[in-house]
Chain A
Amino acid sequence: MSSDVRFTDFKSDKQPTWCPGCGDFGTMNGMMKALAETGNDPDNTFIVAGIGCSGKIGTYMHSYALHGVHGRALPVGIGVKMANPDLEVMVSGGDGDGYSIGAGHFIHAVRRNVDMSYVVMDNRIYGLTKGQASPTSREDFETSTSPEGPNQPPVNPKALALASGATFIAQSFSSNAQRHAEIVQQAVEHDGFGFVNVYSPCVTFNDVDTYDYFRDAIVDLDETDHDPSNRDQAKDKILESDKEYMGVLYQDEDSVPFEEREGVEGSMAEIPDGAPEGAMDLVREFY
């Protein structure tokens, strides 16, 4: 780890193909800033990405990275971190990726509390497949596959996380660069699973949940008397479905990451040249 890492070191030389104005630009910049601020460098960082416009993030960043299959980024991240706790692991994807196809993994990743961060670019629509309803789309939001609206309430990912035993829940907005980077940084620094839902507007397919909407609606928790260590307060805020908050909603300061509780001590990459010492004891057990 070198101290002179700049956030641009995390940029790859691949030009993003996101639509001009897409919220994902801001989300990614914040992630890079947060990683650099926390003293990481590309060679000790592992980014796992999901599928979707959001999932392209691994391509535009420079680090060790894996772009997996739709919805399964979290298990990959858990495997990476368990096998080498010295790595900084960040997982990123979209609302469809994380709360639809990957919803099961989301709940279990939260409760497993491995020390990594999960940044979800929530644009309340499927971007890459060109504008279908996502799990966070509004009940009446008309799309190509839901001409009358999905006709079912959106999932509340922060409530899901809280109910699953989350130790860090935050909400961010990609266009508020400074705050966004700070919030992601807090997630990275958190000892455990740092979950950040980022409002990351899709300028092409979502004309409801726009920059203007979020800018007007969002309330910065720093400007309220919210106490993130107070779970009941966090619960109340999270369940206010007509409110959009920015900041850390909940953090358990006593969180102990799973791999630590499990006693994982270091990288599993180093193995002996032959069977490990004492391996014959494994055979003798069968006497």
Chain B
Amino acid sequence: MPEDLNWAIGGEAGDGIDSTGKIFAQALSRAGRHVFTSKDFASRIRGGYTAYKVRTSVDRVESVVDRLDILIALTERTIHENEDELHEDSVIIYDGERSTMQDVEVPGDATALEVPLKRLAEDAGGAIMLNVVALGAACEVTGFPIENLDESLQKRFGDKGEAIVENNKEAARKGQEYVREEYDEDFDYDMETTDNDYVLLNGDEAIGMGAIAAGCRFYAGYPITPATDVMEYMTGRVDQFGGKVVQAEDELSAINMALGAARAGARAMTATSGPGIDLMTETFGLVATSETPLVICDVMRSGPSTGMPTKQEQGDLNMTLYGGHGEIPRFVVAPTTVSECFWKTVEAFNLAEKYQTPVFLVSDLAMAVTEQTFAPETFDMDEVEIDRGKVVDENDIDAWLDEKGRFQAHFAAADGVSPRAFPGTTDGAHMTTGLEHDELGRRTEDTDVRIEQVDKRQRKVETAREQEDFDYREFGDSDADTLVISWGSNEGALREGLTLLEEDGYDVRFISVPYIFPRPDLTEEIEAAEDVIVVECNATGQFADIIEHDVLERVQRINKYNGVRFKADELATEIKQTLDTPAEATQ
């Protein structure tokens, strides 16, 4: 029997597949087993195939595999959908008494366990509990202690009263007993339990939790798969810490509300997915030129347009990196694991406030719908650090007033970061605008001031490069000739893939990059390798493009951005100067 167990429940959307899967996953996690869940779902609410899959082991599990050991099939289609993943030791649990399942043929050598789920559920108090009967049956097959399931049922149904909880426990027992009595196979699974108490959460929840931990108090959003969980997580919870979630009328409004809240001094965030990011793009430039700290989260799904809303893709990288007209200094951070969703969110808020820029937090559907177990200390709240950057108050604002006593909110500081006064601060009143402005925030078209402000904003990126640790994580053999690079949620699968490769005698160095911009310079690593492979969930290799670009020898550049077109004599001079200066010196 395999070391790790792959279990799934599948049926029609609306059959309670998710909640049943979650009950089982939580039971496993409470029993000290690691869990990694995934979902197959279509973009509809009722009807349509859907499945909740659980991979579990006493060791950490970081990815999904295409092998199913136990399948609870509430519909015949569930079996067909998963046919390729079944093997000779697989067990399929289904209700052969249901009219739609009577002629079910179990593929290959898999074992079919017909359990009258509905009838047993009715005996326990109601047909609605048929999924729980199936869970009980699964406990018997796997030898998983049913008491652990009880706790999960308590958690799930406790609100509905003790009677409901007891009926569900009873339903599970009926499933267990039925299998025990009717089938005498020894399934020989080793469902070891441990004393560990894990927590089980998905990427969206980790982002929401990270936001609250980081002091985010205002969230404005508009529902969209797969980002809605962030909003749902924060709703109600952030209120306990003095914050608020507002459901805006659209994403344009959401990002502008968040921007307003951030100007008022709150740590603020919005989260969306591809189509919503498109709408928000209009405001990226305003966030950047008004120098407002804002965390904008994009939980990617398959595009373009509405694409495949319930499927995975990492296709928005260019959008977050380049979206918006004009040129916008920004940070793009992409967590690579569920726990990193938490920590990178905390970091995103610090980056946003330290540098007063938009920070794009890029996650994806795979991370959003994956629940994973962690030791609770993974989210040690004592480790959370808050850096609000250059906030001034009544006591030190004088240093930032000009000779007329006006606050210089866009002071062209050497490090590119100006002082910040929250509204309400005495003597801090100032104008902010998306128009080009002077140090006081007042509109200008003065060519020198324009250059000064563009340079000032760009300097933030340079400062951050010096002060922050935009590093990567490394796995595998650091001397290997083969270098694999990836970003975002592929890390888990790659790490496991690496072990499989090792078994086959391939040595691979694997670099997982959580920072898209600024990002670690990989030139040395790439030059040291013979083969470089960039792994990403998209068609064109957006990250590969920028990495490739990084290691190219630079062309020399002549740029002008004071608002005036090139003139012939000026260009001639500039070109001469460029030719007379060695390339490295112009960089």
- Given A76-B256, A78-B246, A275-B213, residue A59 in contact with residue B264 (CB < 8 A): no
Least distance between B325 CB and chain A CB atoms (Å): 11
Would you call A67 and B266 a contact (CB within 8 A)?
no
List residues of B (543-586) whose CB comes within 8 Å of A's CBs. Answer: none
- Given A69-B434, A104-B249, A276-B241, residue A80 in contact with residue B263 (CB < 8 A): yes
B424's partner among A86, A284, A287 (CB-CB below 8 A) is: A86
Interfacial chain B residues near A287, Cβ < 8 Å: 29-30, 197-200, 376
Least distance between B84 CB and chain A CB atoms (Å): 32
- Given A62-B429, A64-B429, A65-B430, residue A286 in contact with residue B199 (CB < 8 A): yes
Would you call B423 and A87 a contact (CB within 8 A)?
yes
What mask results when residues 221 to 258 of chain B are scored 1 for a CB within 8 Å of chain A, else 0? 00000000000000001011111101011101110111
Least distance between A287 CB and chain B CB atoms (Å): 6
Tell whether B413 is near chain A: CB-to-CB under 8 Å.
no
Would you call B426 and A65 a contact (CB within 8 A)?
no
Tell whether B507 is near chain A: CB-to-CB under 8 Å.
no
What mask results when residues 45 to 72 of chain A are scored 1 for a CB within 8 Å of chain B, else 0? 1101000000000110011111111001
Would you call B259 and A279 a contact (CB within 8 A)?
no
Would you call A64 and B423 a contact (CB within 8 A)?
yes
- Given A65-B431, A75-B252, residue A274 in contact with residue B386 (CB < 8 A): yes
User: Closest residue to A72 on the B side, CB-wise?
Assistant: B256
Least distance between A32 CB and chain B CB atoms (Å): 13
Stretch in contact with the other chain, from A202-210, A244-252, A264-272: A264-272
Would you call B256 and A75 a contact (CB within 8 A)?
yes
List residues of B (394-426) whose CB comes within 8 Å of A's CBs. Answer: 404, 422-426
Tell whether B318 is near chain A: CB-to-CB under 8 Å.
no
Would you call B246 and A84 a contact (CB within 8 A)?
no
Would you call B426 and A43 a contact (CB within 8 A)?
yes
Would you call B266 and A68 a contact (CB within 8 A)?
no
Tell whether A147 is near chain B: CB-to-CB under 8 Å.
no
Tell whether B501 is near chain A: CB-to-CB under 8 Å.
no
B260's partner among A45, A78, A266 (CB-CB below 8 A) is: A78
Would you call A276 and B213 a contact (CB within 8 A)?
yes
Stretch in contact with the other chain, from B158-166, B176-184, B377-385: B377-385
Tell whether A225 is near chain B: CB-to-CB under 8 Å.
no
What mask results when residues 182 to 215 of chain A are scored 1 for a CB within 8 Å of chain B, else 0? 0000000000000000000000000000000000
B217's partner among A72, A107, A268, A274 (CB-CB below 8 A) is: A268
Contact count A vs B, C-beta below 8 Å:
215
Interfacial chain B residues near A259, Cβ < 8 Å: 244
C-alpha gap A13/B402 in the complex (Å): 14
B244's partner among A262, A278, A280 (CB-CB below 8 A) is: A262
Best-surrounded residue of B218, B267, B381, B427 (most CB of chain A within 10 A): B381
C-alpha gap A186/B74 in the complex (Å): 63
Interfacial chain A residues near B213, Cβ < 8 Å: 275-276, 279, 282
B209's partner among A45, A77, A264, A282 (CB-CB below 8 A) is: A282
Tell whether A263 is near chain B: CB-to-CB under 8 Å.
yes
Would you call A68 and B434 a contact (CB within 8 A)?
yes
C-alpha gap A77/B423 in the complex (Å): 13
Best-surrounded residue of A69, A76, A87, A272 (most CB of chain B within 10 A): A76
Interfacial chain A residues near B220, Cβ < 8 Å: 75, 79
Interfacial chain B residues near A263, Cβ < 8 Å: 239
Tell whether B282 is near chain A: CB-to-CB under 8 Å.
yes
Would you call B290 and A79 a contact (CB within 8 A)?
no
Tell whether A218 is near chain B: CB-to-CB under 8 Å.
no
Would you call A58 and B431 a contact (CB within 8 A)?
yes
Would you call B384 and A275 a contact (CB within 8 A)?
yes
Interfacial chain B residues near A105, Cβ < 8 Å: 249, 252-253
Would you call A84 and B199 a contact (CB within 8 A)?
no
Would you call A268 and B264 a contact (CB within 8 A)?
yes
Best-surrounded residue of B205, B248, B267, B423 (most CB of chain A within 10 A): B423
- Given A82-B246, A84-B266, A264-B244, residue A67 in contact with residue B435 (CB < 8 A): yes
A79's partner among B259, B282, B286 (CB-CB below 8 A) is: B259
C-alpha gap A72/B284 in the complex (Å): 13
Interfacial chain B residues near A282, Cβ < 8 Å: 209, 212-213, 237, 379, 381
Interfacial chain A residues near B249, Cβ < 8 Å: 104-105, 107-108
C-alpha gap A161/B261 in the complex (Å): 24
C-alpha gap A108/B205 in the complex (Å): 28
Would you call A46 and B246 a contact (CB within 8 A)?
no
List residues of B (251-303) whose CB comes within 8 Å of A's CBs. Answer: 252-254, 256-268, 282-283, 286, 290
C-alpha gap A104/B249 in the complex (Å): 8
Tell whether A223 is near chain B: CB-to-CB under 8 Å.
no
C-alpha gap A77/B200 in the complex (Å): 38
Would you call A46 and B200 a contact (CB within 8 A)?
no
Would you call B432 and A46 a contact (CB within 8 A)?
no
Tell whether A83 is near chain B: CB-to-CB under 8 Å.
yes
A80's partner among B261, B426, B429 (CB-CB below 8 A) is: B261
Interfacial chain A residues near B259, Cβ < 8 Å: 68, 76, 79
User: Closest residue to B387 on the A side, CB-wise?
Assistant: A273
Interfacial chain B residues near A81, Cβ < 8 Å: 260, 264
C-alpha gap A243/B167 in the complex (Å): 69
Least distance between A161 CB and chain B CB atoms (Å): 15
C-alpha gap A205/B385 in the complex (Å): 56
Would you call B265 and A267 a contact (CB within 8 A)?
yes
List residues of B (200-222) whose CB comes within 8 Å of A's CBs. Answer: 200-201, 205, 209, 212-215, 217-218, 220
Tell whether B433 is near chain A: CB-to-CB under 8 Å.
yes
C-alpha gap A48/B434 in the complex (Å): 12
Tell whether B428 is near chain A: CB-to-CB under 8 Å.
yes
Would you call B379 and A283 a contact (CB within 8 A)?
yes
Would you call B386 and A68 a contact (CB within 8 A)?
no
- Given A64-B428, A72-B252, A75-B257, residue A271 in contact with residue B433 (CB < 8 A): no
User: Closest residue to A259 on the B side, CB-wise?
Assistant: B244
**10 pairs, CB–CB < 8 Å, chain A vs chain B:** A83-B264, A104-B250, A267-B424, A268-B218, A268-B243, A279-B384, A282-B212, A284-B199, A286-B200, A287-B197
In the A-B complex, list the 10 residue pairs whose CB atoms are closest, starting with the nearest: A79-B260, A269-B265, A271-B215, A286-B199, A83-B261, A75-B256, A268-B217, A79-B257, A268-B266, A67-B433
Q: Hey, which bits of chain A sit against chain B, CB under 8 A?
A: 12-14, 42-46, 48, 58-59, 62-69, 72, 74-84, 86-87, 104-105, 107-108, 259, 262-269, 271-276, 278-280, 282-284, 286-287
9 extra A-B contacts, CB within 8 A, seeds A79-B259, A264-B244: A67-B433, A72-B256, A76-B256, A79-B268, A81-B264, A82-B244, A82-B261, A269-B265, A280-B376
Q: Hey, which bits of chain B sit against chain A, CB under 8 A?
A: 29-30, 197-201, 205, 209, 212-215, 217-218, 220, 237, 239-244, 246, 248-250, 252-254, 256-268, 282-283, 286, 290, 376, 379, 381-382, 384-386, 388, 404, 422-435, 442-443
